[in-house]
Structure 1
Amino acid sequence: MSQSASQSVPSTDYLSEKTQTTLDAFSQLGTDAKLALLYLIYQKMGDSITPAAPTATDPELAPLLMEDFYRLPHEKQLDAMRDIVNGADTDYAHAYGALKENNQLMVWFAWAQAMGKTVIGLPAGYQAEQAVTKALGQIEGLAFEAQISLLREIVSRMGYSNIKPIPTQAETGKTASL
Structure 2
Amino acid sequence: MTLGKEGSNILSENTQKIFQQYTQLSTDEKLALLYFIYENMGDSITPAAPNAADLNLTSSVIEVIFNLSEDEQLEIMRDIVNCKDTEYSRAYGGLTPNNQLLVWYAWAQAMGDTVVDLPDDYKATEAISNVLSQIKKLEFEEQISVLREIASNMGYTEVKRVSSQAEVGITPSL
Give the shorter-chain TM-score range.
0.7 to 0.9
Q: Which moved more, 1:42-51 or 1:93-102?
A: 42-51
* Paired positions, count: 166
Identity %: 54
Q: How does 1:14-163 map to 2 (within 5 A)?
A: 14-50=10-46, 52-163=48-159
Say whether the 8 Å CA contact 1:33–1:132 is kept in structure 2.
Answer: yes
Stretch of structure 1 that moved more, 122-131 or 158-167: 158-167
Deviation sequence 1:39-61 (CA, Å, 0-9, x none) = 10011223323264121111221
| Alpha-carbon offset, residue 110 of structure 1 | 0.6
Q: Is the radius of gyration larger for structure 1 or structure 2?
A: 1
Structure with larger RCO (C-alpha < 8 A, sep 6+): 1
Check whether the contact 1:59–1:66 (CA below 8 A) recurs between aligned residues: no
- What is the TM-score normalised by the length of structure 2? 0.87
Give the deviation of 1:28 after TM superposition. Answer: 0.2
Q: Which runs of 5+ in 1 are unaligned?
A: 169-174
Tell me which stretches of 4 or more aligned residues in structure 1 moved more than 6 Å.
Answer: none
Distance (Å, rounded) in 2 between the aligned partners of 1:110 and 1:147: 18
Residues 126 and 161 of structure 1, relative CA distance in 2, 3 Å threshold: same
Q: Does the 8 A contact of 2:15 with 2:146 survive in 1?
A: yes
Contact 2:53 2:98 in 1 (8 A): yes
Q: With the length of structure 1 as denominator, give the TM-score of the two structures.
A: 0.85
Root-mean-square deviation (CA), in Å? Answer: 2.3
Letter paired with 2:24: Q
